[in-house]
A and B are shown apart, each in its own frame.
Chain A
Amino acid sequence: MNQCHALFMLKKYAALVALSMAALISVPASAGAQAGTVDQLTGRLVITGASTLAPLIAEIGKRFESLYPTVRIDVQSGGSSRGVADARQGLADIGMVSRAMKEDERDLSAFPVARDGVCPILHQENPVQALTDEQIVAIYTGKISNWKLVGGTDAPITVVNKADGRSTLEVFLQYFKLKNVDVKAQVVIGDNEQGVKTVAGNRNAIGYVSIGTAEYDAAHGIPIKLLPIGGVAASTESVRNGVFPLSRPLHLVTRTAPSGLTNAFIEYAQSKAVHDLINQQYFVPLAH
C-alpha cells in the first residue's frame, strides 16, 4: 500500500521530468541557425526592447511568420536600455529603441521603422484650448500653479510628468529646453496609458503622451483632448506631414550589419507591406 503510493508519486514526477527532458531536447532542433536563402527562411529571432514598440513589432512578426511558416519571431519587452544592452551582448538578435540614438550608441546599426509624436493632453472639460511654449515651461517648472493664470478655472494645476529615462520625457525636455531637475510634478507616470488615465480622472491635470495613444483614446470616448504645440494641431497627420515639432523616431538596432533572417525581417519591417500595421498601432510610417 505504501509502495503503491510511493510508486504513484514517483510516476507523476517521472512524467514531469520526462516532459522537461523532451522539451530540452526539442530546443536545439528548433532554435538552430538562421539559415541561408531568402525563400527558405527558417529559425528564431529574439527581439527585446522598448515596450512602446513591442506591440507593433509583435504584429509585424506575426505577419512575417505567416509568410514564412518555419520562422519564429519572439518579441520581449524590458525597455529601450535593455534593447541596446541585449543587442550589444548578443542576447537578442534585434533591439527595439523608442528614441533617437545617442552618441555612445554609434557602434550599433540603427534602422528607423516609424515615427511617433508627443503632445500635451488636458482633461476634455478643461476650458483651456491652447498653451504657448512659455506657458507650458512655466507650468512644468512650477511658476504657474493655477489654471486661472492661463485662462482656465480657479483650480491648482496637477502636473503629470514621465519617469526618468523614458524617451517621451527626453523628447519633451529637449524641445522645451528643460532639465528634469527643474520639473516640479505632482504625479510621475510610467506608461502612456497610465498618463492618459491619470489625466482623464483629474479635471485639473496636464500631462504629455504619445500622440498615437492620445488620438486613439480621445476617439474612443476617453475624456482627454490633445493640445497643439506652436500653433500646429497635434495629430498623426501633422506628424506624417512633418509639421509637428515634437516627434521621435522608433528604431530597430543590431550589433553588426544584419544578415540572413535578421536582415530579411528588418527589411520587411521597413517595407510598405507593413504600413497598415503601423497605422493600426497609431504610429506614423516613414516615407522611403
Chain B
Amino acid sequence: MGKARGRHRGGREGLATTFVWSAAVLVTATFCWLLGDILWHGLSHLSWTFLTAPPRNAGREGGIGPILVSTALILGVCLGVAVPLGVGTAVLLAEFTTDASLFGRLTRRSLDVLSGVPSIVFGLFGNVFFCKTLGLGFSILSGGLTLACMVLPILIRSTEEGFRAVPAGYRLSAAALGLSRTTTLFHLLLPAAVPGLLVGLVLGVGRAIAETAALIFTSGYVDRMPESLLDSGRSLSIHIFDLSMNVSGGDTNAYASALVLVVVLLAINRTASWLAEHWLHRRIVTV
C-alpha cells in the first residue's frame, strides 16, 4: 500500500514539474518571439543621434530626443503624485483600518473598480478634468496626473499586500519599546514592506510607460522639447503609435523607439530593485 501511494505521489509530482516547466518555457518562448522581433527590426536603427536628435519628417527621420525628455517628465509627475498618495493609502488600509471597517472595504472596492476603467476613459476624463476644468490644457502635468490615477490602484493594492506580509511581531516589539506609530512606520514597517512596494512600482511604471490612449488626450501630440511642465509633449508610446499606425513608412523608427523603451524600462526596474535591496539591507535584518 505504501509503495502504491508513493508511486502515485511520484506521478503527481512529476506531472506538476512538467506543467510548471512547460508554463515557463511557453511564456519565455512567446516573449522571446516578441522581443526578438523588436530587436531584429529596431537594433540597426539605434544610434546616439537617434537618442538625442529631434524628430524630422513626421518622425520618419531624426530621433526621439525631446520625446524621451517628455516621457521622463510625465513619468516623474506620475510617480511623484502616485507614490505618496498610494503608499499613504496603502498604509492606512493595512495598518490603521480593521478588516471589517466600512471605510477600508469601500476604498479597496473602489480601487478595484478603478483598476478596470478602460485607458481611453481615463484619457477622456483627464481631458475634461485636468485639461479643461483645472485649466492645465494639453500638458505634461495633465498627462502625469491622469497616469497617476491609472497607476494608483496597482500601487496601493500591492503595497498593501507588502504590509500585510510583515509579521505582527515587528509591530508588537515596536509597541513594547514605546515607539510612536510614525517611527514604527518609517523605520520598521516601510523597509520591511518594500518588496510589495517594489512590485507595485514596477507594475505601475510599466503601466504608465506603456499607456497610449490616456495620454493622447491629455499630454498631447507635440514632439518639441518641452520647456515647462505645462507644455504639451508626447510620450514614447504615443510616438510609437503614431509612427506605426498613422505615418506611412514610420515602421522602422517605431521598432527602434520600442527597443529604446524596453531598454529604459529595464534600467528603471534594475535601479528600483537595487535601491530596494540597498535600503532593505541597511535598515532591517531578516530573521
Contact = CB atoms under 8 A, between A and B. Distances in A.
Given A77-B216, A217-B249, A2 B229 contact: no
Contacts of B216: 77-78
A23 B229 contact: yes
A281 B58 contact: yes
Nearest to B222: A74
Contacts of B229: 19-20, 23
Interface residues of A, number: 43
Given A46-B138, A76-B138, A280-B57, A51 B246 contact: yes
Interface string B210-247: 00000011001111100111101000000000101111
Given A20-B229, A55-B246, A77-B221, 6 more contacts: A2-B187, A23-B229, A27-B230, A74-B138, A193-B244, A217-B249
Given A2-B182, A23-B229, A76-B222, A13 B132 contact: no
A55 B167 CA distance: 56
21 contacts: A2-B186, A5-B186, A6-B186, A20-B229, A23-B141, A23-B230, A26-B230, A27-B230, A46-B137, A46-B138, A59-B57, A74-B138, A74-B220, A74-B222, A76-B221, A77-B221, A91-B132, A193-B244, A193-B246, A193-B247, A193-B248
A23 B248 CA distance: 36
Given A23-B141, A51-B246, A75 B228 contact: no
A280 B58 CA distance: 10
Given A20-B229, A26-B228, A91-B132, A58 B248 contact: no
B248 A76 contact: no
Name the prevailing secondary structure of the A interface residues.
helix
A212 B248 CA distance: 8
B84 interface: yes
Contacts of A2: 182-183, 186-187
A55 B247 CA distance: 7
B223 A20 contact: no
Contacts of A196: 248
B58 A16 contact: no
Interface in B188-226: 216-217, 220-224
Interface string A50-77: 0110111011001000000000101111
Interface in B104-158: 132, 137-138, 141
B11 interface: no
Interface string A170-214: 000000000000000000001111101000000000000000110
Interface centre among B57, B221, B222, B229 (most CB of A within 10 A): B221
Contacts of B36: none
Interface string B49-67: 0000000011100000000
A287 interface: no
Nearest to A277: B57
A6 to B, nearest CB: 8
B256 to A, nearest CB: 16
